A = this chain, B = another copy of it.
C-alpha cells in the first residue's frame, strides 16, 4: 500500500522510530497496528526521512498489508477498504499527523527507491509587519531584511550534479554526491506565502541537513555578509559550511515518482550506489 501523509513536525523527534521518543514513524506504525488489528507493527518505508522539527505536506510511505486484514476493513456504506483505512486512521491519529490518502501501490513501487526527486520549501519572513502568529510553526522569522536577488543568484550556482560534502553532515560510508534539480528563491505575490521569502529546493535525494545548510549559506548572502559567489566556492572547496538554519522553516512538499510502468526499473537504478562523477 501507498500512504500519502502530512504532519506538523513541531511535536515529533523526526521521522525514525526511536525508543522513548515521539516520532512520526512510531505514531503512524502504532496507529496502523490499531486500525489493522495487528499485534505486529507494520514496517514502513519512507520517501524522505525528515529531521526533528521538519514538516511534511507530501510525504509518501509504503507498507505490506495482508490481504485478509484489508478485507476486514468493511464499512456499512460500502466504501472500499482504503477509504475505510483513511477514515479509521483519522479517528486514532493525533491532529499533527494526517494520512491524506491510501491506495494499493502499483507493482514495483518502493516509496524510497522509486522516487525521482524530493521537493522541499523553506519559508522565511523578513518583514516584521508580515509576521503571522498562525504560521509561526512553519516560517522562520528573520530580523533583518534580505536581498532576494542576491540569494536567487547564489542559489542558481549550486544547481547540478555535485559532491555536496560541504553542505552535509558527514557519514563514513555514504556518498554526498547529489543532483540538485532546482534551487530558487521567490517572494510570492498573492497565494498562501504572500510576502514571505520562499526557497524551492528539489533534488534526486538529500543528505542529512543539506537543505538547511544550503539555505543557511543563502541567508548569509541575503544579509550582505557574503557575496553571491560564496556558496559555490564553499561547495567547490568542500569545506564544511557552518550555518544550519532552524528546522521549523522546512517542509517536505512533494515526492515525485515516474509513471507506474517505470517504477520497478527506477528502484533498481537508485539502489545502485551513487558515485562521484569524473571531473
Residues of A within 8 A of B (CB): 6-8, 55, 57, 86-87, 90, 95-98, 100-101, 128-138, 190-192, 194, 251
B residues near A100, Cβ cutoff 8 Å: 128-131
Closest Cβ–Cβ distance, residue A189 to chain B (whole Å): 11
A136 touches B86 (CB 8 A): no
User: Considering only CB atoms, which chain B residue lies closest to A136 in the complex?
Assistant: B95
State A95–B246 Cα separation when bound (angstroms).
Answer: 15
**A98:B133 contact, CB within 8 angstroms:** yes
29 contacts between A and B (CB under 8 A): A6-B131, A6-B132, A6-B134, A7-B133, A8-B133, A8-B134, A55-B133, A55-B134, A57-B132, A57-B134, A86-B128, A87-B128, A90-B128, A90-B131, A96-B136, A97-B133, A98-B128, A98-B131, A98-B132, A100-B128, A100-B129, A100-B130, A100-B131, A134-B135, A134-B137, A134-B138, A134-B251, A190-B191, A192-B192
Chain B residues whose C-beta falls within 8 Å of the C-beta of A57 in the assembled complex: 132, 134
Q: A128-B90, A191-B191, A192-B191 are in contact. Are A8 and B136 (CB under 8 A)?
A: yes
**Given the complex, which residues of B lie within 8 Å of A87, measured CB to CB?**
128
A192 contacts which chain B residues (CB < 8 A)? Answer: 191-192, 194
- The distance in angstroms between the C-alpha atoms of A6 and B195, with both chains bound, is 16
List of B residues within 8 angstroms of A129 by Cβ: 100-101
Give the interface centre of A97, A130, A192 by most chain B CB atoms within 10 Å.
Answer: A192
* A7 surroundings in chain B (CB, below 8 A): 133
**Chain B residue at smallest Cβ distance from A83:** B128
CA A55 – CA B136 in complex, angstroms? 13
Shortest Cβ distance from A8 into B: residue: B133
